[in-house]
Chain A
């Protein structure tokens, strides 16, 4: 029995998991329309590689990865590309994003699928193939997996199968039904990263999944570790601490302490991509909450949520839908948004299941939030600083270590929406950082411009000086054809400019107020003066030159 290293805090919210595990995973029906956003992962959105009107096959790449932190996007069904346009996506802003709209033809014709012999190819090559297969972290963070896999000589590979958030059971069902395939996926990861040990962390409220995984791991050397049910043990840093005792330092990444952590569903998609040549075009989604027939479904990416939920028969008093769990999930304002790679669960809400939170009261500094915080922060202080927009102080109190788990919200006797304040403060800090970078650049450009103007001035002065010196040195003034031609050219240019000046009509000079007109007149007068004196000077110079030349 492995000794566990409990993390700080944590809570025990009601689980609500049993209702969606009574039946096995079913395939969701093919919808009439698929909306596939090109940004389903962290990093750069994919670049569309199909055109409107194209016929695509199931699994065909429709968005190519753009840059290093990106992943491909594929057609979830064969059919026709109807549009590439802005469509609503599941995002807290409610803003739309570029998506490929497909109309499935119902034939479900696949691309040619080719398995990869992962032991025979270079790990870098394998990682590129995973990027092209659209493999991203399916635990919710949707970070492209090929980047996380780029860590060799790892001490421990942690497979996150804790699934700690209430209501969600998609990983549980995946392990119950497809444990062998999950383990094959883990084997690929272990091969790529040369991890010394593999630990699979599962909460003890999933006995069926634990025994299925234990059976599948026989002889593989992977260890299934049962961890106590405590929210949020499924958060990467907390699970790593729990299983290995290692703390990932603030601002650091897990490989710096020799650990890397992947979600169990990601392992499954890696197996499908490598051993079957199937890109990520579907995922398992828990449909639960206020529904008659809660159940897990294998759902094509791009299926509109409003259409999907019909299979689980939401009750009449359903007030809305939540994507993700009740602790960290996103309330959907538009049921037209599609299922994306990050969608693990859709919860139908009702006034009975999710009563509106009581009105908030002032913080009484009871520090219950600090006791519950799994990141060992001081949420009451963070709240105070975020509320006062004192972002520097909030960062000093490790705001960016907050995983937005909502434990503090959950225990707060004053019902303060604490996490909202942390999100607000984080995004403000990010925006300030962007602004700071922009002004840094503006300052550089401005300084360069000043430098350039100064240099041009000096160059001009130097040129003038050189000319003057030359003129003084050669008293004959360069007589002959050359000088005459030059003079003629200059005169011609001056004439042209004069003609042009005369042709230009001044702008906006009708209906001028008297002061403005007076100003203009004054300027004109000065100009004439200047012209006259310049003319005199030129005449004097000319006569000088004439004398010199003669």
Chain B
């Protein structure tokens, strides 16, 4: 009896020590949920969700302070994945987020640009190159199409142009096909 007691106590102490050690050794830096949510967000950094970028929105979602249906560029797909991750019911997109936009990139009219660097400072992903008093230009490959550079431009020389998908980005459509009117009856016949 005493032996059994000792063994159990010994085990409890040993396992406790292991767990304690593991919790120190494998301590997770930062909040892993924030990272996971951030990984789902499209990283356009447009602020349409009402937060100054995807990461702050991810933090708000992770701490339960924000709804999952605010990201407009992500649309329904992102909302669904967030619902999946957090184990909550999918919600219809918030009114401002419901209208999907085509993929677009900014284009600076180099005839008009005065080189003020204002757009450059607004771009969340450093997709604009230029220096003071030099004509600025947008790196298409890096631009996320967030439109944040439009309002600061004092001479309104930036426009958003839709991205032509071309053959590389072409996708098959969701199949549409005629369905038999009296499907139910026919199913009974075939089966």
Contact = CB atoms under 8 A, between A and B. Distances in A.
B25 to A, nearest CB: 27
Contacts of A485: none
Interface in A439-491: 439-443, 445-446, 448-449, 452
A95 B191 contact: no
Contacts of B142: 441-442, 445
Contact of B126 (A420, A432, A448): A448
B115 interface: no
Nearest to B146: A442
A2 interface: no
A473 B185 CA distance: 97
Interface string A92-115: 110101000000000000000000
A507 interface: yes
B108 interface: no
B172 interface: yes
Nearest to A94: B170
Which size bracket describes the interface of B in this complex?
Answer: 35 or more
Given A361-B186, A439-B42, A431 B124 contact: no
B177 A414 contact: no
Nearest to A443: B43
A417 B175 contact: yes
A420 B172 CA distance: 8
Contact of A449 (B125, B166, B178): B125
Nearest to A365: B191
A550 interface: no
B171 interface: yes
Given A95-B167, A417-B177, A439-B42, A364 B191 contact: yes
Contacts of A430: 171
Given A435-B42, A449-B124, A424 B172 contact: yes
A366 B191 contact: yes
A359 B38 CA distance: 44
A362 B187 contact: yes
Contact of B175 (A91, A359, A420): A420
Contacts of A423: 172
B158 interface: no
A358 to B, nearest CB: 8
Contact of B167 (A91, A432, A448): A91
Interface string B80-98: 0000000000000000000
Contacts of A434: 169
B128 to A, nearest CB: 11
**Max chain B Cβ within 10 angstroms of own Cβ: one of A358, A360, A430, A443:** A443
Contact of B124 (A93, A95, A446): A446
B179 interface: yes
A180 B51 CA distance: 71
B127 interface: yes
Contact of A39 (B155, B167, B172, B191): B167
Interface string B135-178: 00000001010000000001110000000001101111111011
Contacts of A92: 172
Contacts of B41: 439
A431 B38 contact: no
Contacts of A452: 126
B180 A361 contact: yes
A430 B191 CA distance: 36
B44 A443 contact: no
A431 B172 CA distance: 10
A366 B187 CA distance: 11
B1 interface: no
A97 B167 contact: yes
B62 interface: no
Contacts of A93: 167, 170
Nearest to A418: B175
Contacts of B173: 424
5 contacts: A359-B181, A362-B187, A417-B175, A417-B177, A442-B44
Given A91-B167, A446-B54, 12 more contacts: A95-B170, A97-B167, A424-B172, A424-B174, A427-B171, A435-B42, A438-B144, A442-B42, A442-B43, A442-B44, A446-B55, A449-B126
The 9 closest A-B pairs by CB, nearest first: A439-B43, A420-B175, A442-B43, A359-B180, A445-B125, A427-B171, A93-B170, A443-B43, A424-B172
Interface of A: 39, 91-93, 95, 97, 358-362, 364, 366, 413-414, 416-417, 420-421, 423-424, 426-428, 430-432, 434-435, 438-443, 445-446, 448-449, 452, 507
